[in-house]
């Protein structure tokens, strides 16, 4: 899809994708009842995770596209460990996609000369 695609068309495609995934999930369940082992495949587990993050199943098996993605939702099926998160609201809202790392440095209490690296390395 391209960034110029109208929002209505994107919503329709998301809805159609959800319905297709739901049909596939039901087919896999039918195969399981016949003794299949498809449900254990990593790709199907990932597809199931994406479905649960992107869609809500309403009454009578009707699906609805979620308005907001949950924190930690899969953004790229080729690298499902990549995290997505949002912070703030309105104009100050920032979205993040990728890996998050917390870095902390311990500093020696002994003074070092200017330009000398810390001895902790």
Triad 2, 98, 96: Cα angle to 5°: 75
Measured CA to CA, the distance from residue 8 to residue 70 in angstroms comes to 22
What percent of the chain is predicted at pLDDT more than 70?
93
pLDDT of residue 56: 92
Low-confidence ranges of the chain (pLDDT < 70): 1-2, 108, 119-121
The beta-strand segments (E) located in the chain are 55-57, 63-65, 83-87, 94-98
**What's the distance, Cα to Cα, between the start and end of the chain in Å?**
47
What is the pTM assigned to this prediction? 0.65
Tens of pLDDT, residues 81-102? 887 777 888 889 888 788 878 8
Q: Where are the domains of the chain?
A: 1-67, 68-121
Measured CA to CA, the distance from residue 59 to residue 66 in angstroms comes to 15
């Amino acid at each position: 899809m391209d960034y110029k695609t109208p929002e209505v068309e994107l919503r329709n495609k998301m809805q159609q994708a959800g319905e297709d995934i739901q049909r596939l999930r039901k087919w896999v369940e039918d195969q399981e009842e016949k003794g299949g082992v498809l449900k254990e495949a990593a790709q199907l587990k990932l597809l199931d995770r994406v479905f649960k993050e992107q869609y809500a199943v309403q009454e009578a098996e009707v699906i609805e596209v979620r308005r907001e993605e949950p924190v930690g939702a899969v953004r790229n099926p080729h690298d499902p460990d990549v995290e997505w998160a949002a912070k703030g609201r309105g104009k100050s809202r920032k979205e993040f996609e990728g890996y998050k790392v917390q870095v902390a440095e311990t500093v020696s209490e002994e003074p070092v000369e200017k330009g000398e690296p810390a001895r902790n390395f």
